[in-house]
Amino acid sequence: MDELIDILTPEGKQTGKTALKSEAHKNGWFHATVHIWLFTSNKKILLQKRALTKKVFPGLWDISVAGHISAGESILSSAKREVFEEIGLELQEKELVKIGTRIHQVSHANGIQDNEHHHVFIAELKVPVESLTMQIEEVAGLQLFDLAVLKNTKNLENVLLPRFHEYYVSVYEKITSLLK
């Protein structure tokens, strides 16, 4: 779905301009997204299988929930909205723990230029996966994996993309520090 988003400087500052997400991706304009990693108290991580209709990484296992921050929307409101839209889970702001912001720059073969500032959160999943409701336009599957999947991306059988290994390891370290 195309949506209106705020355009940022490469440093992540507001420019005062907005554009459709498709325009930002076509022109390589920086913009903001949210990543929400959901983990369980027994050291599992919820991964989402991306819908086959997605323009980037279709059908691959990925972050529990991710999405673009709409124009004028706060980061926390966006995180809560995306979690509810994609998997039907209502989280309170206090349940979302921000663990950082990362700059992501990737040119995809289909012409999409992702220049994004990812606002990364972790939150404990306290309900059974079976109770979640997938948004079929975005999500083809939900599954709990052992938390170690985040640090074993160099393993050929791993389900996550090895090119983002350092990012996944940083998420693993933040979650394990909370579970101690």
CA 114 to chain centre: 13
Nearest to 62 by CA among 44, 50, 71, 70: 50
Rg (the chain; Cα; Å): 16
- Structural domain range at position 23: 4-179
Q: Report the CATH number that the domain containing residue 152 is assigned in CATH.
A: 3.90.79.10
Q: How many CB atoms lie within 10 A of CB 72?
A: 10
The pLDDT assigned to 6 comes to: 98
Contact status, residue 95 vs residue 123, Cβ threshold 8 Å: yes
Number of domains in the chain: 1
The pLDDT assigned to 160 comes to: 78
Q: Considering only the C-alpha atoms of the chain, give the largest distance between any 2 of them, rounded to a whole number of Å.
A: 44
Q: For residue 87, what are the contacts with CB-CB under 8 A and spacing of at least 6?
A: 48, 64, 65, 132, 133, 134, 135, 139, 142
The pLDDT assigned to 165 comes to: 87
pTM: 0.94
Profile the chain (180 residues) by mean pLDDT over runs of 10 residues.
93 97 96 98 96 90 96 97 98 97 92 95 98 96 95 70 87 94
The pLDDT assigned to 118 comes to: 97
